[in-house]
Homo-oligomer: A and B are copies of this chain.
């Protein structure tokens, strides 16, 4: 074992050829005679020649690696996106380097430094909740590295992005809630500087307006973690009249919300409907099961990777910003009427 991998030079020496000839023979260069070509390729095959990736990358100044930064890895939506990125990257012979910011600005900055140091050809980012400065993103662009945002895009930087149709997704979901008889609908959102949150809020508000329902500020709250649910939801439930629906920023919030509402003595969906966002696997294991908006994370991952790789390879030539939108689908389950 530990037999060192054979190199081009080794083949050249063994066959009494020059490395250049061997190199060309391997890539079917027309100037090489069929005879030599076959000889070289047969030898290479037999000795399991594999080009040295490091040498290749140095020569080509192309790493065939893209970096990905997600807020968290252990997270249904993001891991789904990662799977999509992986699939597309693999198809196009790229490898991916994955970092997670843990929703932390400093880690995000460090991750970007790491990826740049590693020599990635491009970076995909879904920004952390706590990020409000954007120099580190600009740094990527200044280094001549392509940058594509996905889902949690950064409005402060002008670059390609792939987003979910948050507005329409929210609009449809809230519409559905209204049409099934709800009219005091709570929106549990996230930090307002994240477009995913404000866009959904707009969808929510427009759906209400469309049905001439009042917009009440008391029905809107930042509540995107289990902890916040414990704090916010009881407050909502103590209002008179009690809300009759909760539209939540993600499935986890919806699930905890559901628990709390049930243990407060309300029936779901008879008294209160609940709708989540993402359509993760927890929607199937709660009782009642959760209605949710499917974000098609896998598609988003594939699309983001495709866009980035097209930029790298020069296939995507648009000089301005390319913006892709992934459709959503409302998946109705038992937590809504």
Contact = CB atoms under 8 A, between A and B. Distances in A.
Interface in A123-139: none
Interface string A275-291: 00000011011110000
Give the interface centre of A55, A97, A98 by most chain B CB atoms within 10 Å: A98
Contact of A53 (B2, B73, B118, B141): B118
Contacts of A90: 99, 114
Contact of A281 (B252, B258, B287): B252
Contacts of A50: 116-117
Given A282-B285, A287-B286, A96 B95 contact: no
Interface string A1-12: 111110000000
A50 to B, nearest CB: 6
A63 interface: yes
Interface stretch (A76-84, A165-173, A197-205, A309-317): A76-84
A199 B72 CA distance: 32
B3 A144 contact: yes
5 contacts: A1-B144, A52-B119, A53-B118, A82-B98, A96-B97
